Amino acid sequence: MDNKYQDLSTEERELALREHYREALLLLGEDPEREGLAKTPKRVTKAMQFLTQGYNQDPEAILRSAMFKEDYKQMVIVKDIDFYSLCEHHILPFYGKAHIGYIPNGYITGLSKLPRVVDVFARRLQVQERLTTQIKECIENTLKPLGVIVVLEAQHMCMQMRGVQKQNSITTTSDFTGAFKEAKTREEFLNLIKSK
Q: Is 90 a catalytic residue?
A: yes
Catalytic residue among 12, 88, 129, 182: 88
Q: Is 99 a catalytic residue?
A: no
Catalytic residue among 14, 49, 90, 188: 90
C-alpha dihedral (17, 22, 25, 31), degrees to nearest 10? 170
Q: Is 88 a catalytic residue?
A: yes
Q: Is 93 exposed, middle or buried (0-12, 13-18, 19+ CB in 10 A)?
A: middle
Catalytic residue among 20, 33, 89, 187: 89
Q: Which residues share a beta bridge with 84?
A: 95
Catalytic residue among 30, 137, 153, 158: 158
Distance of alpha carbon 77 from alpha carbon 107, whole angstroms: 15
Catalytic residue among 126, 128, 138, 140: 128
Q: Is 138 a catalytic residue?
A: no
Distance of alpha carbon 39 from alpha carbon 62, whole angstroms: 35
Is residue 48 a contact partner of residue 86, using CB atoms and an 8 Å limit? no
Q: Is 23 a catalytic residue?
A: no
Is residue 113 a contact partner of residue 83, using CB atoms and an 8 Å limit? no
Is residue 103 a contact partner of residue 178, using CB atoms and an 8 Å limit? yes
Q: Is 83 exposed, middle or buried (0-12, 13-18, 19+ CB in 10 A)?
A: buried
Taking only Cα atoms into account, the Rg of the chain, rounded to an integer number of angstroms, comes to: 20
Task: Give the active site residues.
Answer: 87-90, 128, 156, 158
